[in-house]
Structure 1
Amino acid sequence: MRLLAAAVILASTASAQPLDLREDPGLSDALVGLTEAAGLGGSFDVGEDGTQVTSLVVVDLAGPEPVWGGVAPDAFLYPASVYKMYVAAEVLRQVLEGRYDLDDPRVVTPHNAVDTAREVLSDPRPLLAAGDTVTVGYLLDLMVTRSDNSAANELIDLATRPAVDSLMHRYGWEGSEVTRKFLPRSVEDEGYADVPSTMTSGRHAAEFLALAATDRLVHPWVSRRLVALLTNQLDKTKLAAGLPREAVYAHKTGWWSFWTHDVGVVRDGEVHYAIALLTPVLEAEARPRMAEVGAAVHALMRARGAR
């Protein structure tokens, strides 16, 4: 029965297609204006990575047909911990397929136990240590809600990078491949020490989230479990800081060096949209600007819904 169920699931997801969304030029123009007003427009010097731009994409899910608007939607940036949501989706897909269960134990390998401090200091859960036995579900929760790097490394090994890439390519998101784990290149796994950095774009992240928000990412079970994990995100210092308290925001943040990002799905009454904001700006500088963007986008989406 388990094999039969897996076959049915695989058949139902094999024909997954990229989103065919129409751009709303008015929405794009508005996003350009509010991005510039928040100090995130133009280009930024990020050292050896040269000049980079902010990528902002919003998919309005409240109307009869989803539409999108964006600023540099196809600019690829290093996503930092944002790409953990891609890993989570593939892990959940494999659970649905029956390869393993969320309650299955996994022993943390010394190679993957890299964290020396909790990414969210208010979270009381201890750091993962080599030899710890924890469940797949616990690793998923740590990776998404606390952005735990050790948990991410374990789950990248479990899911495998080629499998994550295959999931992304199924929807046409080439260029958003997961190439690296969260550890120095000097200790990367064989064959991965010299690969390019993982990258993603605002368009890919927003489309991924739009599919999850509408139960169309792989399978409704995968979509809903992923959104549930993202809803418990502990970092509220970026876009979330500009949203009203009554808004439900399921999201994943990421930050490292020059890169500071927040991507997610917002629900507030009839207002419903996916948003991806990727910036080449240091976190301390980006946080207040991102909060400003969060507030401005939400006001814009409320106004669109009132028309």
Structure 2
Amino acid sequence: MKLKFTFFLFLIIVPMLHAQVKIPAYYQQEKSFTDALEKIITNAGLDGSYDAGEDGMEKISFAVIDLNGKQPVIGGVNMDNFIYPASVYKMYVAMEILKQVSNKDYSLYGTYVIKSPNDVDTAKEIFNDPRPLLKNGDTVTVKYLLDLMITRSDNSAANCLIDLANRKHINKTMHAYNWHGSEVTRKFLGRQFEDPGYDTIRGTETSALHAADFMYKINTDQLVNPWVSMQLKVLLGGQLDKSKLAAGLPDNAMYYHKTGWWSIYTNDVGIVDDGKIKYIIALFTPIQEEEVALKMKKVSDEVYKLISKRAAN
């Protein structure tokens, strides 16, 4: 049994040692676009290094994909830098759940019984959301859990869905898209409550490049299949967190996105569409929300203006 367990750990850990950082060939790169994005980051005061405690010195990870031409144009700053995504990686979990539903492994309307220690939330991530906290013994549908996990960023729902999806299956799908290094390694609970093999594994990380590419797959209906892509886009469009990058967008813009915040990390990634222009933006920062909120708003506003100017030319 010990040999089998060691081999199991080997299978979990080895794929994570080779992070995929190459920009896919279907993206075009333009120096002028990257230069403009670098200037936006510098002007917002986000071009430095930050003390991330046990994680050492950390930098932001930022990517933008302009979707308004014949070929998508990508640019960014440290877009291949891997950083703690906080709740943003719940979107990777949602992908696998919807994939399994699409494969008829179970139904969106099938029931699921909440079991401890997955019921970790003691307060709502969005305080004015009327839905009660999940607790041990509650019976809900898979669809309800998906909605809670994405729109309210509910940690208890995420823990349940990570169990249902199975991390090995999530990461197999991640690897199929070459998102090596962005594997889902942890649930949203203490290590002492983790399953064997996951109690000592590294924390989950991702990059702006992978997160933006994920959104690109959704936008083009290529994430698993059109049904999965559209289902996830609907969920992302119902995001209740209107701070961070959403705060810098005009009222007429639709933003399909997932946010994440924990300790010093504040993140946001999504698809912006106002009917005239469309682009993807991903920003991961090692900065507390109170300190970075106005800077993220400024970045979002400036990127919107940049993309609008490019589309007009």
Using structure 2 for the length normalisation, give the TM-score.
0.91
Match of 2:92 among 74, 78, 86: 86
Structure 2 residue 269 is the aligned partner of structure 1 residue 263: yes
1:270 positional shift: 2.2
Q: Aligned equivalents of 2:228 and 2:46: distance in 1?
A: 33
Structure 2 residues without counterparts, runs of 5 or longer? 1-23
Q: Secondary structure at the match of 2:298?
A: helix
1:177 equivalent in structure 2: 183
Q: Secondary structure at the match of 2:38?
A: helix
Q: Aligned equivalents of 1:277 and 1:155: distance in 2?
A: 25
1:137 positional shift: 0.1
- 1:92 counterpart letter in structure 2: L
> Where does 1:234-245 land on structure 2 (aligned, <5 Å)?
234-245=240-251
2:30 equivalent in structure 1: 24
**After TM superposition, where is structure 1 displaced by more than 2 Å over at least 4 residues in a row?**
none
Q: Aligned equivalents of 1:243 and 1:108: distance in 2?
A: 37
Structure 2 residue 167 is the aligned partner of structure 1 residue 144: no
1:42 positional shift: 1.6
Q: Secondary structure at the match of 1:77?
A: coil
**Equivalent residues of 1:264, 1:276 under 8 A apart:** yes
Structure 2 residue 130 is the aligned partner of structure 1 residue 121: no
> Where does 1:125-204 land on structure 2 (aligned, <5 Å)?
125-204=131-210
1:19 positional shift: 6.1
Q: Aligned equivalents of 2:265 and 2:250: distance in 1?
A: 25
**Equivalent residues of 2:26, 2:72 under 8 A apart:** no
Q: Secondary structure at the match of 1:90?
A: helix
1:98 equivalent in structure 2: 104
1:67 positional shift: 1.2
**Equivalent residues of 1:104, 1:136 under 8 A apart:** yes
Q: Aligned equivalents of 2:31 and 2:162: distance in 1?
A: 38
Q: Aligned equivalents of 1:19 and 1:230: distance in 2?
A: 26
Structure 2 residue 217 is the aligned partner of structure 1 residue 211: yes
- 1:294 counterpart letter in structure 2: S
- 1:56 counterpart letter in structure 2: F
1:122 positional shift: 1.1
Q: Aligned equivalents of 2:95 and 2:31: distance in 1?
A: 31
* Deviation readout 1:173-196 (Å, 9 max, x if unpaired): 100000000001121112110000
Q: Aligned equivalents of 1:199 and 1:23: distance in 2?
A: 25
How many residues get paired?
A: 290
Q: Aligned equivalents of 1:43 and 1:20: distance in 2?
A: 31
**Equivalent residues of 1:19, 1:171 under 8 A apart:** no
Match of 1:52 among 40, 53, 58: 58
- 1:38 counterpart letter in structure 2: A
* Deviation readout 1:137-193 (Å, 9 max, x if unpaired): 000000000000000000000001011111111111100000000001121112110
Q: Secondary structure at the match of 2:256?
A: strand
- 2:165 counterpart letter in structure 1: A
Coordinate RMSD, CA, aligned: 0.9
**Equivalent residues of 2:26, 2:71 under 8 A apart:** no
Q: Secondary structure at the match of 1:120?
A: coil
Q: Secondary structure at the match of 2:308?
A: helix
Structure 1 residues without counterparts, runs of 5 or longer? 1-17
Q: Aligned equivalents of 1:170 and 1:206: distance in 2?
A: 16
Q: Aligned equivalents of 1:25 and 1:139: distance in 2?
A: 43
Q: Secondary structure at the match of 1:273?
A: strand
Q: Aligned equivalents of 2:108 and 2:63: distance in 1?
A: 32
**Equivalent residues of 2:116, 2:136 under 8 A apart:** yes
Q: Aligned equivalents of 2:276 and 2:96: distance in 1?
A: 30
Q: Secondary structure at the match of 2:115?
A: coil
- 1:207 counterpart letter in structure 2: D
1:4 equivalent in structure 2: none
* Deviation readout 1:15-38 (Å, 9 max, x if unpaired): xxx663122221111111111111
Q: Aligned equivalents of 2:168 and 2:258: distance in 1?
A: 22
Q: Aligned equivalents of 1:19 and 1:100: distance in 2?
A: 35
